[in-house]
Amino acid sequence: MRIYKQKNILERNINYSNAYGRNLQQESIVSCENTIAVDLVKLLIRCGADALSKNNAIRSPLDFAKQIKDMEMINILTDK
């Protein structure tokens, strides 16, 4: 049931964020294994997610990628 609710939310708003302002891109960068995060972020961007979105602390997915020094993710988020 929870997965269905999350899927339904994403179909309405791909940039949905939680109470802290974090969206799926930000959560995947800090929470997932690198290969999973890369695939997920690529998919979210293809589906129209905003790669420049900010959370409540005014940090973007790119800020998170820079913090963990993930060059592959930085390149994806900056479209290089």
pLDDT digits (tens, 9 = 90+) for 30-79: 777 778 888 888 988 888 888 888 999 999 999 999 999 999 999 999 98
- Lowest-confidence pick of 8-17, 20-29, 42-51, 69-78: 8-17
Name the residue range of residue 40's domain: 2-77
Predicted TM-score (pTM) above 0.85: no
Q: Tokens 């959560």 label which residue?
A: 27
pLDDT of 71: 94
Any idea what the CATH number is for the domain that residue 25 is in?
1.25.40.20
For the chain, the domain total comes to 1
* Helix ranges (DSSP H) in the chain: 2-12, 24-31, 34-46, 61-67, 71-77
Q: 34, 69 in Cβ contact below 8 A?
A: no
The yes-or-no verdict on residue 1 having pLDDT over 50 is no
> What is the C-alpha separation between 45 and 63, in angstroms, rounded?
16
The yes-or-no verdict on residue 2 having pLDDT over 80 is no
Residues, the chain = 80
The tokens of 80 are what?
Answer: 């290089």
